[in-house]
Homo-oligomer: A and B are copies of this chain.
Amino acid sequence: MAIRLGPNQYGKAENRVVRVYRDTPRHELRDLNVSTSLRGRFEDAHVSGDQKDVLPTDTQKNTAFAFAKERGVGAIEDYALALGRHFVNVSPAIQGARVEVEEYPWERIGDHSFVRSGGGVRTTVVEVGDEGATVVSGIKDLVVMNTTDSEFRGFLRDEYTTLEDSYDRILATSLVATWEYADVEADWDTLFASIKRICLERFAGIHSLALQQTLYGMGKAVLEAHDEVRHISFKAPNKHHFLVDLSPFGVENNGEVFIAADRPYGLIEASVVRD
């Protein structure tokens, strides 16, 4: 039974590309973290050490920065598609490119002054190959909390179950959502804003019987509103907020004082798809 190279890819991770538009006194800013990787016929590089087909990760880095100027950075999806399409055309040995981009949010405080804001980091992962391209965009680090309208009860019990039914608890998570677009051309910025808005609106609006139900409701609402989205996935740590027992001190605690725990945490992953 022979031993051989299996799946492989390589690239440059976490290029911190900052693009300033300064054509007018009112500057614009796009602050990105760009990772690229290539797949293809790289057996020689691995087996004999011959690098003739390997476009250096340093070149990938250069390209990410050069494109920020040459092609510009509008929506991160367009920037990533441009990069990915470029790479697969460099050499026949390169058969696929994956470009990941994170965009950090900034709020304007002056014509050329900004403060980092919260509300999550926008993401996209673009894959370009022989069959065309796919665009999976998303948001991460979107930390949200409901202080009521969350229950968890009627669950399966076995001999290791000690949890009691809860009729009113805090529901908090640091949401990661990713969705695949049906097409490679779209009004990306508008779609992102709308999907984020729907997720927040549903998170706030659903009376939750479980984090699973909240995620499903969010995903369903996104798919109903946007035919442009093929499917959506969520990864949501259940950031536990435990009610603190204040009875030893003669004090009632009706959902008012909680300890936010770090680990362990629930981890709920769910996707919503079209049939």
Contacts and interface: CB of A to CB of B under 8 A. Distances in A.
A247 to B, nearest CB: 10
Given A51-B153, A56-B163, A204-B109, A257 B65 contact: yes
Contact of A145 (B29, B161, B269): B29
12 contacts: A3-B274, A10-B268, A10-B270, A14-B264, A18-B260, A46-B212, A57-B238, A57-B264, A62-B161, A66-B160, A114-B147, A115-B118
Contacts of A22: 147-148, 254-256
A252 B212 CA distance: 35
Contact of A118 (B11, B16, B116, B161): B116
Nearest to A267: B13
A13 B260 contact: no
A42 interface: yes
A52 B246 contact: no
B212 A27 contact: no
Number of copies: 4
B160 A249 contact: yes
Chain A contact residues: helix, strand, loop or mixed: mixed
B210 A45 contact: yes
B50 A154 contact: yes
Contacts of A149: 112
Interface of A: 1-22, 27, 29, 31, 35, 37, 42, 45-59, 61-63, 65-66, 68-70, 90-91, 93, 105-107, 109-110, 112-119, 142-149, 152-163, 170, 200-201, 203-205, 208-210, 212-213, 215-216, 220, 223-224, 231, 233, 237-238, 241, 244, 246, 248-249, 251, 253-275
